[in-house]
């Protein structure tokens, strides 16, 4: 998420809005935002419903064997349809390049 934050201006200049989703609680997500100075939304999906819908759940992969989300990046259009996805981290330049193709 720090990588997203560090490249937020570049993404926004390309018309890309950043949002992250975590399996953490609301309080944990809020604390993380403060700790690492995130200025984009970090949504809590404690029951991992959205995380499961994108097939990103890593059961027991987190602290204290908590379920966590795998790392993935998506570009969605204005209707919410996934237009591009990459599992793992992607360089900002590639995300911008993919967005321009859409």
**The total number of structural domains that make up the chain:** 1
What average pLDDT does the chain have? 91
Cα separation of 101 and 99, whole Å? 5
pLDDT digits (tens, 9 = 90+) for 73-102: 999 988 889 999 999 888 888 998 988 888
Tell me the residue range of the domain where 80 lies: 2-101
Element containing residue 9 per DSSP (H, E): helix 8-13
Token pair, residue 72, equals 């993935």
Cα separation of 72 and 22, whole Å? 11
Cα separation of 80 and 74, whole Å? 10
What pLDDT shows up at residue 64? 87
Token pair, residue 40, equals 């984009």
Whichever domain contains 89, its CATH number is: 3.40.30.10
For residue 79, which of 102, 53, 95 has the smallest C-alpha distance? Answer: 102
Q: Tell me, yes or no, if the pTM score tops 0.85.
A: no
In the predicted model, is pLDDT for residue 58 greater than 90? yes
């Amino acid at each position: 998420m720090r990588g997203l934050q560090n490249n937020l201006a570049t993404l926004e200049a390309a018309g890309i809005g950043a949002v992250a989703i975590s399996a953490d609680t609301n309080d944990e997500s809020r604390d993380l935002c403060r700790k690492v100075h995130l200025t984009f939304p970090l949504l809590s999906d404690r029951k991992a419903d959205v995380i499961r819908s994108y097939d990103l759940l890593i059961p027991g992969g987190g602290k204290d064997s908590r379920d966590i989300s795998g790392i993935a990046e998506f570009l969605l259009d204005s209707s919410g349809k996934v237009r591009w996805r990459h599992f793992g981290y992607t360089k900002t330049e590639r995300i911008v390049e993919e967005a321009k193709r859409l």
